[in-house]
Structure 1
Amino acid sequence: MRPRRIHITGASGSGTTTLGRALAAETGALHLDTDDVYWLPTDPPFHQKRPIPDRLALLEDAFGRTDRWLLTGSLIGWGDPLIPRFDLVVFLIVPPALRLERLRAREVERYGAAALAPGGPMHVAYQAFLDWAEAYDIGTQVSRNRQAHEAWLARLPCPVLRIEGDTTVEDRVRRVLAVRLREGQAWRG
C-alpha cells in the first residue's frame, strides 16, 4: 500500500517544499507547508510566530478535509501531536554549502539583492537567517539542527525514507512513490 499522509522534512534549503509541490502535482494530494501555519502573515514575512494551539488546529482542519496530503517543513518542538497521522516521513539531507547557496538565491529572488545588501533594509535579518541556517549542521546552538532532527526521527513510529545528496526532484519523487507499506505499517489518525 502506498503512503497517503507524508511529512517531508530536512534543513532549510534542502528542498522539502519543492519535493512536496512536485509530489502534489504527481499525485493530486494536498500540499501544506509548516511555514504557512508557523508564521502569522506580516510584512515583511516571518517575523511573528503563530501560537502553537492555533498551528495545530489549522493543520488538523486541513488534514480533516482529505485523506491524501503532503506536509513539508519542520515541526520539531511543536508538532508532536501530529506524529500519529504520518504514514511516512521523508528526511532530505543536502550538503551544507549547496543548501546555503540555494537559500541565498531564494532570498534574493524573494526580496531583491538591494534589500539584502549591506545597508539594505533586510540585511541584518538576512545575515541572521543565513547564520541560523548554517548552524543546522555544525552544532546545537539552535533548536532546529541536525542532531535534534536525528533524535526526533529515531522516535517516530512510522517508516522514514532518507534521501541524501544533490539528487534531482524527479529522482526524489520516484523514490517516494516507490515506497510501499506493509499491511498494518501505516498509522491512522
Structure 2
Amino acid sequence: MIRIVIFGNSGSGKSTLAAKLSRESALAHLDLDTLAWEPVSPPVRCTLAKSREAINYFTDNNENWIIEGCYSDLLEFVLKKATKVIYLCLPIEHCVENAKSRQWEPHKYESKEAQDANLNMLITWIRQYESRNDTFSKTAHEQLFNQFNGPKVRFSSNEQLA
C-alpha cells in the first residue's frame, strides 16, 4: 500500500512532484485545491466538514494514493492513513521562480491569462510563508512534518527534487 502526503509553500513543486509520482506508480492523485474552495468569486473556503467528506470519499475509494496541498488543516485528516510524508521546504525565491514558470493549471484557472493575472498576488502570498501564522504557513507545515511518525523526507531545493 502506498499513501503519500506532499505539502509545502505555494510554488514549491507539490503538484509537479505529485503528478510525476502518480504517473510512475499508478497512484490516484488528489490536489486539495480542487476541494478546498467554493466555486464563487471572490474565493471562499469550503467548510472543513465539506472538505473532509470529499477527502474521505477519495481515500475510501482509492487504495493507493497521493494527496498534495498547502492546507495543514485538511492534511491532518489523512496523516494517520499516510505511509509516507514529503515536505517541500524550498527557499522562498525558488518558490517564486517556480510560480513564474508554472504551466497553465486548467483545474484551477479558466485560462493561462487568468492564471497569469493572479501571479502578483501569488508571489506576495509565497513571500509571506515564513511570517504567516495560519494553516498555510511554514510553522503549520513544520508541525505537520514533526507529528508524522512514519517514513518522511524534507526537500530543500529544486535540485533535490529533480
Please give the TM-score of this superposition, normalised by the length of structure 2: 0.82
Unaligned 5+ segments in structure 1 are: 117-121, 172-189
Supply the AA of the counterpart residue of 1:136: Y
Deviations 1:38-63 (A, max 9, x none): 11234x6x712111111111111111
CA–CA distance in 1 between the matches of 2:103 and 2:22? 24
Whether the 8 Å CA contact 1:5–1:86 is kept in 2: the answer is yes
List 4+ stretches of structure 1 deviating above 3 A: 105-111, 125-128, 140-143
Which residue does 1:163 correspond to in 2? Answer: 155
Equivalent in the alignment of 1:56: 52
The Cα of 1:29 is off from its aligned counterpart by: 0.9
Match of 1:66 in 2: 62
Look up the match of 1:131: 124
Higher share of residues assigned strand = 2
Contact kept in structure 2, 1:88 and 1:158, CA below 8 Å: yes
Q: How far apart are the structure 1 equivalents of 2:60 and 2:39?
A: 23
Q: Give the structure 1 partner of residue 108 of structure 2.
A: none
Task: Find the counterpart in structure 2 of residue 21 from structure 1.
Answer: 19
Q: Residue in 1 aligned with 2:35?
A: 37
Q: CA separation in 2, counterparts of 1:168 and 1:11?
A: 16
**Residue deviations 1:60-87 (CA, integer Å, cap 9, x gap):** 1111112100001123134423221111
6, 9, 12: which one pairs with 1:8?
A: 6
**Which whole-Å CA distance do the structure 1 matches of 2:160 and 2:75 have between them?**
28
C-alpha change, 1:52 and 1:143, in structure 2 (3 Å) is closer
Q: 1:34 to 1:85 in 2, by over 3 A?
A: same
* Unaligned residue ranges in structure 2 (runs of 5+): 106-110
Residue 140 of structure 2 is matched in structure 1 by: 148
Cα separation, 2, equivalents of 1:167 and 1:59: 31
Counterpart AA for 1:97: E
Count of matched residue positions in the alignment of Structure 1 and Structure 2: 157
Deviates more, 1:46-55 or 1:103-112: 103-112
2:89 alignment partner in structure 1: 93
Q: How much does 1:159 deviate?
A: 2.3
- Tell me: CA distance 1:142–1:56, structure 2 relative to 1, closer, same or farther (3 Å): closer
**Rg comparison, structure with higher value:** 1
Question: Judging changes above 3 Å, is the alpha-carbon distance between structure 1 residues 161 and 48 closer, same or farther for their aligned structure 2 residues?
Answer: same
